[in-house]
Amino acid sequence: MVADAGATTLRAVAELVRAGLVPAGQAAALEPVAARYPVAVPPALAALIDPGNPRDPIARQSLPDGAELLTAADERADPIGDAAHAPLPGLVHRYPDRVLLTPGFACAVYCRFCFRRERVGGGEALSGAALAAALAYIRERPEIREVILTGGDPLMLAPRRLAEIIGALDAMPHLGVIRIHSRVPVAAPERISPELLAALDCETALFLAVHCNHPAELSTPARAALRRLSRAGVALLGQSVLLAGVNDDATTLEALMRGFIENRVKPYYLHQLDAAPGTARFRVPLERGQELMRGLLGRVSGLALPSYVLDIPGGHGKSPIGPGYLSGDNRQVTDWRGERHAL
Counted residue by residue, the chain has a size of 343
User: For the purposes of burial, counting CB atoms within 10 Å of the CB of 176, is it exposed (0-12), middle (13-18) or buried (19 or more)?
Assistant: middle
Active-site residue among 76, 82, 107, 183?
107
Assess whether 94 carries a catalytic annotation: yes
DSSP 10: B
DSSP tally for the chain: helices H, then strands E:
11, 12
What is the residue type of 22? V
Provide CB contacts within 8 A for 140, sequence distance 6+.
none
Active-site residue among 18, 95, 141, 266?
95
Active-site residue among 112, 116, 283, 294?
116
Provide CB contacts within 8 A for 56, sequence distance 6+.
49, 50
**Cα gap 341→206, rounded to integer Å:** 42
Assess whether 18 carries a catalytic annotation: no
Assess whether 95 carries a catalytic annotation: yes
19-28 core/surface letters (b: 16 or more CB in 10 A; e: else): bbbbeeebee
Assess whether 340 carries a catalytic annotation: no
Assess whether 98 carries a catalytic annotation: yes
Active-site residue among 60, 82, 114, 212?
114
| Residue among 45, 40, 46 at smallest CA distance from 5 | 46
Handedness of CA 214, 219, 222, 226 (dihedral sign): positive
Assess whether 202 carries a catalytic annotation: no
What is the residue type of 128? G
**Cα gap 82→115, rounded to integer Å:** 10
Strand 340-342 relative to strand 332-334, pairing? antiparallel
**Cα gap 100→247, rounded to integer Å:** 27
User: For the purposes of burial, counting CB atoms within 10 Å of the CB of 178, is it exposed (0-12), middle (13-18) or buried (19 or more)?
Assistant: buried
Assess whether 318 carries a catalytic annotation: yes
Q: Taking a C-beta distance cutoff of 8 angstroms, is the pair 77, 277 a contact?
A: yes
Active-site residue among 60, 76, 94, 183?
94
Active-site residue among 56, 111, 112, 269?
111
Catalytic residues: 94-95, 98, 107, 111, 114, 116, 274, 311, 318
